[in-house]
């Protein structure tokens, strides 16, 4: 579960309109359905709704796609001791844990059908019964759900219950993809670079004009999460120097731009880079500097190995100068003269 409070930043007129809608419904107990592509900030908006709700209980976030079907019922509603093999003690479920607060169910479209029926019942009855128990426990939970799939098509395909949809969809907040709110790109970019500078006690990295142009021209299929990861990765690579377009490891465009002029194809995405960026995002989310340093040294080692310890090629691959590479190698004790001889 996320522990750091993250600030919600909305600068574009479309985002501000969304924020105004969110303010209108924040302190009402009605369920809210948040729609948006992956990485658009659905969970952050759900947290914001909770913070502005005035509810004293906790915010509990659950990802529908990660729920194991066998344990789902006990996870949601809790269980009594001995309810099933392995249920040693009594355990409260997510609904009870969120009592007096907000339960956020992400990827609601992936919830198994059997569980959808039970969820509907809880919404109607406003009480849960633990697995293996008989006593109904009253619950006062504000439900916020999110989906990146179109629930109407899931209903048409028989994967989502229509009655549950109408229960959840009393208010819908649709978060536009980042490419449709370009006014957010640079403020968010500076916000993430400022955050990076504070967390690493370094000066805030500057964006060179070609990097700004590249950021504004990209289609952001991974939305804000992609923007955050791309910038943090670039900030690490450049080690305090200005971030240029060549330092931005962008995912390929999902659709060609509408302009008539053909655009040269983006270079193929290196799976190593994709893996590294994913791991980096996870580490930064956890805010663990020790792990981050290990990640940085691992990246250096891997790149050097790939380029047979050729520093010019490695620095080029990382998008940093040879001098910056040597500084980093020194910091992590990876200079050839300090490394144990290879046999």
| Positions that interact with ligand ATP (CB under 6 A) | 6, 8-10, 36, 38-44, 106, 148, 188, 224-225, 228
CB closer to ligand ATP, 87 vs 188: 188
CB closer to ligand ATP, 9 vs 324: 9
CB closer to ligand ATP, 63 vs 321: 63
Q: In whole angstroms, give the CA distance from residue 144 to residue 34.
A: 7
CB closer to ligand ATP, 36 vs 93: 36
Q: Which DSSP string do the residues of 44-56 spell out, in sequence order?
A: HHHHHHHHTTT--
CB closer to ligand ATP, 39 vs 78: 39
**Ramachandran angles phi, psi of 144, nearest 5°:** -120, 125
Token pair belonging to 172: 């819908």
**CB 107, min distance to ligand ATP, A:** 7
The residue whose Cβ lies closest to ligand ATP is 41
Q: In whole angstroms, give the CA distance from residue 47 to residue 118.
A: 25
Strands (E) in the chain, as ranges, are 32-35, 59-63, 102-106, 127-129, 136-138, 142-147, 171-174
How many helices and strands (H and E) does the chain possess? Answer: 14, 7
**CB 36, min distance to ligand ATP, A:** 5
**CB 151, min distance to ligand ATP, A:** 14
**CB 130, min distance to ligand ATP, A:** 28
**Cα dihedral 104, 174, 231, 286 in deg (nearest 10):** 0
Classify residue 312 by burial, with Cβ atoms within 10 Å: 0-12, 13-18, 19+.
exposed
**CB 237, min distance to ligand ATP, A:** 20
**CB 179, min distance to ligand ATP, A:** 14
DSSP β-ladder status, 136-138 and 127-129: antiparallel
**CB 278, min distance to ligand ATP, A:** 12
Q: Is 34 helix (H, G, I), strand (E, B) or coil?
A: strand
CB closer to ligand ATP, 78 vs 176: 176
Q: In whole angstroms, give the CA distance from residue 176 to residue 40.
A: 7
Say if residues 116 and 69 touch (Cβ distance below 8 Å): no
**CB 124, min distance to ligand ATP, A:** 27
**CB 198, min distance to ligand ATP, A:** 14
Q: Is 177 helix (H, G, I), strand (E, B) or coil?
A: coil
| C-alpha neighbours within 13 Å on the C-beta side of residue 294 | 6
Q: In whole angstroms, give the CA distance from residue 143 to residue 119.
A: 11
CB closer to ligand ATP, 8 vs 117: 8
CB closer to ligand ATP, 254 vs 338: 254
Token pair belonging to 342: 């290879």
Residue position matching structure tokens 């910091």: 331
CB closer to ligand ATP, 230 vs 320: 230
């Amino acid at each position: 579960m996320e522990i750091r409070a993250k600030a919600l930043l909305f600068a574009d007129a479309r985002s501000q309109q969304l924020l105004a809608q969110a303010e209108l419904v924040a302190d009402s107990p009605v369920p809210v359905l948040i729609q948006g592509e992956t990485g658009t900030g659905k969970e952050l908006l759900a947290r914001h709704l909770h913070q502005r709700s005035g509810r004293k209980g906790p915010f509990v976030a659950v990802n529908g796609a990660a729920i194991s079907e066998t344990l789902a019922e006990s996870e949601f509603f809790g269980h009594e001791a001995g309810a099933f093999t392995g249920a040693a003690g009594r355990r409260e479920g997510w609904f009870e844990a969120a009592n007096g607060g907000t339960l956020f169910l992400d990827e609601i479209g992936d919830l198994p059908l059997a569980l959808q029926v039970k969820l509907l019942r809880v919404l109607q009855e406003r009480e849960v019964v633990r697995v293996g128990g008989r006593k109904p426990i009253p619950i006062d939970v504000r439900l916020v759900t999110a989906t990146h799939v179109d629930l109407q098509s899931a209903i048409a395909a028989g994967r989502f219950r229509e009655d549950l949809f109408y229960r959840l969809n009393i208010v819908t907040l649709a978060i536009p993809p980042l490419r449709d709110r370009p006014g957010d790109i640079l403020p968010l970019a500076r916000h993430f670079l400022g955050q990076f500078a504070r967390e690493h006690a370094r000066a805030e990295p500057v964006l060179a004009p070609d990097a700004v142009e590249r950021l504004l021209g990209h289609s952001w299929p991974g939305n804000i999460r992609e923007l955050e990861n791309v910038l943090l990765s670039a900030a690490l690579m450049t080690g305090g120097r200005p971030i240029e377009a060549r330092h931005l490891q962008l995912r390929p465009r999902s659709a060609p731009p509408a302009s008539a002029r053909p655009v040269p194809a983006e270079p193929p995405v290196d799976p190593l880079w994709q893996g590294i960026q994913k791991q980096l995002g996870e580490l930064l989310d956890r805010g663990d500097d020790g792990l981050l340093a290990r990640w940085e040294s691992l990246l250096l080692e891997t790149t050097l190995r790939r380029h047979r310890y050729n520093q010019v090629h490695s620095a080029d691959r990382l998008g940093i100068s040879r001098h910056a590479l040597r500084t980093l190698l020194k910091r992590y004790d990876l200079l050839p003269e300090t490394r144990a001889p290879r046999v």
